[in-house]
Amino acid sequence: MGYTNDTGMAAFVSPIEVTPTVGVWAMAVAAHLWTLNHTNGADTSVLKVPLKLPSNAVALKGAFLKSIDFWWSDAASDIVDMSVEVYLATMQAQGGTLATALQASSYDALHLTAAARKTAVQHKMTVTLTTPVWIDDDVEAYVELTCNAAATSVVKLQGARANYTLRV
């Protein structure tokens, strides 16, 4: 029986898997590129980006989440901000309470400030966990991507990618 410790694993999250809270968001395709599009409208949407990673009840096995990449563009004009928070939600026992924990993280050098994140260009933003974390078998890992759009903003989310080490 073998042992795997692959430090270069990645899991892509399609835009169809992302759930927005408010605003007008719709799937679209142009030149075979599928995107989740926010049409013109000043609002603040929180998008849940699920990270479907292998988990394990045994300590130091399964996925060791290190960072998440996001691809989006702001086609029409500057958004107000695009920000990210990484969460782990521990599933409750019978009669228990769902517990969520915000994970400390940082942006890559090109997205450190709101001013850098809001430019009207194609973005690839990497958010790195300050302390990478093993995904336990009773934990849901997800990201809350907050898009604070201006009245004329047209945001196109192409997807996300979780980067992790796999140990089994």
Summarize pLDDT for 28-43 with one digit per residue, the tens: 999 999 999 998 788 9
- Check if the beta carbon of residue 102 is closer than 8 Å to that of residue 83: no
Domains and their CATH numbers in the chain: 5-167 (2.60.120.260)
Summarize pLDDT for 48-104 with one digit per residue, the tens: 999 999 999 999 999 999 999 999 998 776 788 899 999 999 988 887 788 899 999
Is 2's pLDDT higher than 80? no
Q: Determine the pLDDT at residue 61.
A: 95
**118 confidence band (pLDDT: 50, 70, 90):** confident
Task: Answer whether 0.85 is exceeded by the pTM.
Answer: yes
